[in-house]
């Protein structure tokens, strides 16, 4: 069984640039959620993708967008980067958007630094 | 809006001690509560998941309890070891909220030799 993998592991970008982060879901999982974790904070829900469509969104501006592909992998895109976007971005997969009683499986995250 | 609080923010204990981490949440309409472990710079590892109809779950030296009516959960770690040093996060899934997790800010645990 392949776990959740994220790439790249680290990334440094300049304010105003755009970034794409990638996530491969665990085998058999069709739902991907993205979280942002600022230093010293708990993760904050960004959005979730199911059947290649956004299926719920947290309190993040439209410059945060995503995609899900037919193989259930996903991308997180952030445009017009701001210093406050510096964080650990975590991807989690599950067997469906309503799999309440199965734990989400998280990747090791992408550390984004915006200078 | 659901708010999840964890106390204490940091904890340092000598090896072998039993310890309790606390988590409280403001909205009792939850499907479940989960406890995660996070090592520095890493992702989250699920430790225990308690369904809303359950009172506790156990895994090895870990025991988590849930009191939905009072909005509280505790994670009990028995006979702590240096390898338990990590940040522990609790998170809830709200009724009707899909499987979106609302996290607390975590308790940073250090177990010293």
B106 CB burial (10 A radius; 0-12, 13-18, 19+): buried
Query: Which chain B residues contact residue A38 at CB under 8 A?
Result: none
Distance CA A35, CA A41 (A): 12
Binned average pLDDT, 10 residues per bin, chain B of 113 residues:
92 96 93 93 92 94 96 97 97 81 96 95
Cα distance from B31 to chain A (closest Cα, Å)? 7
Indicate the average pLDDT of chain A: 93
| Sheet of B56-59, strand order | B4-7, B19-25, B72-77, B62-67, B56-59
Cβ <8 Å between B100 and A31: no
Query: Which chain A residues contact residue B101 at CB under 8 A?
Result: 33, 35, 43, 45, 104
Alpha helices in B36-104 (DSSP H): none
Tokens representing A36?
């942002």
pLDDT tens-digit series, residues A36-69 = 999 999 999 999 999 999 988 999 999 999 999 9
Q: Which regions in chain A score pLDDT beneath 50? A: none
Which residues have C-beta within 8 Å of that of residue A63, sequence separation ≥ 6? Answer: A78, A79, A80
Nearest by CB to residue B49, choosing from A90, A103, A105, is A103
pLDDT of residue B94: 83
Cα distance from B32 to chain A (closest Cα, Å)? 7
Which residues have C-beta within 8 Å of that of residue B60, sequence separation ≥ 6? Answer: none
Contact B112, B12 (CB under 8 A): yes
pLDDT of residue A100: 67
Nearest Cα residue to B50 out of B60, B59, B42: B59
pLDDT of residue A1: 57
């Amino acid at each position: 069984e392949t776990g959740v993998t994220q790439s790249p592991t680290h990334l440094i970008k300049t304010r105003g640039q755009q970034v794409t982060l990638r996530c491969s879901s665990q085998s058999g999982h069709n739902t991907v959620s993205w979280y942002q974790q600022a230093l010293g904070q708990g993760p904050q829900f960004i959005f979730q993708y199911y059947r290649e469509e956004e299926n719920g969104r947290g309190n993040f501006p439209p410059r945060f967008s995503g995609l899900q592909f037919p193989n259930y992998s996903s991308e997180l895109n952030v445009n017009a980067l701001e210093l406050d976007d510096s964080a650990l971005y975590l991807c989690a997969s599950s067997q469906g958007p309503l799999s309440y009683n199965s734990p989400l499986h998280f990747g090791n995250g992408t550390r984004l630094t915006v200078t | 809006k659901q708010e999840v609080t964890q106390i204490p923010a940091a904890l340092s204990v000598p090896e072998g001690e039993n310890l309790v981490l606390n988590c409280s949440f403001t909205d009792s309409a939850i499907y479940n509560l989960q406890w995660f472990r996070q090592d520095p710079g890493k992702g989250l590892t699920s430790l225990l998941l308690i369904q809303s109809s359950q009172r506790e779950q156990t895994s090895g030296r870990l025991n988590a309890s849930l009191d939905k009516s009072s909005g509280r959960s505790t994670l009990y770690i028995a006979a702590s070891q240096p390898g338990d040093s990590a940040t522990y996060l609790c998170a809830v899934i709200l009724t009707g909220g899909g499987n979106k997790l609302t996290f607390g800010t975590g308790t940073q645990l250090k177990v010293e030799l």
